[in-house]
């Protein structure tokens, strides 16, 4: 029997990093936002990423704009983990 996860069990207002965002003008969907400190080539920076279900991602692809917490990003890469969840690397505008 197929086992289907309900991602809303893991991505909800009780989950650290929870955000409700609108993508491509669609109604808000749930996702997890993370922005960890990192250094690259001896330069300070951060790595903004979004964990979201493929369903909630919809038709968004590379360069689709996303606003999170008032900051404008665009989609860099979309990494599917094969379970229906994707990790999106965001680029700050």
- Residue 66 Cβ vs other proteins, minimum distance, rounded to whole Å: 13
Angle at Cα 47 formed by Cα 43 and Cα 49, nearest 5°? Answer: 170
Query: Which residue lies nearer to other proteins by CB, 29 or 68?
Result: 68
Instruction: Give one DSSP letter per residue of the chain, joined into a string.
Output: ------GGGTSSTTSTTEEEE-STTPPPEEEEEEEEEEEETTEEEEEEEEEEEHHHHTT--TT-EEEETTEEEEEEEEEE-SSSEEEEEEEE-
Q: Which of residues 24-43 bind other proteins (CB under 8 A)?
A: 35, 38-43
The verdict on 72 binding other proteins (CB under 8 A) reads: no
Query: Could you tell me which stretch among 2-10, 26-34, 52-60, 83-91 binds other proteins (CB under 8 A)?
Result: 83-91
Query: Which residue lies nearer to other proteins by CB, 10 or 87?
Result: 87
> Which residues form the interface with other proteins (CB under 8 A)?
35, 38-48, 76-77, 89-93
């Amino acid at each position: 029997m197929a086992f289907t996860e309900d991602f809303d069990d893991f991505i909800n207002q009780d989950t650290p990093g929870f955000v409700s965002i609108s993508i491509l003008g669609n109604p808000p969907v749930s996702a997890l936002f993370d922005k960890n400190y990192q250094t690259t080539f001896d330069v300070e920076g951060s790595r903004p990423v979004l964990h979201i279900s493929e369903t909630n991602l919809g038709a968004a692809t590379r360069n689709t704009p996303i606003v999170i917490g008032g900051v404008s990003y665009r989609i860099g890469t979309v990494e599917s983990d094969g379970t229906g969840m994707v990790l999106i690397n965001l680029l700050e505008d």
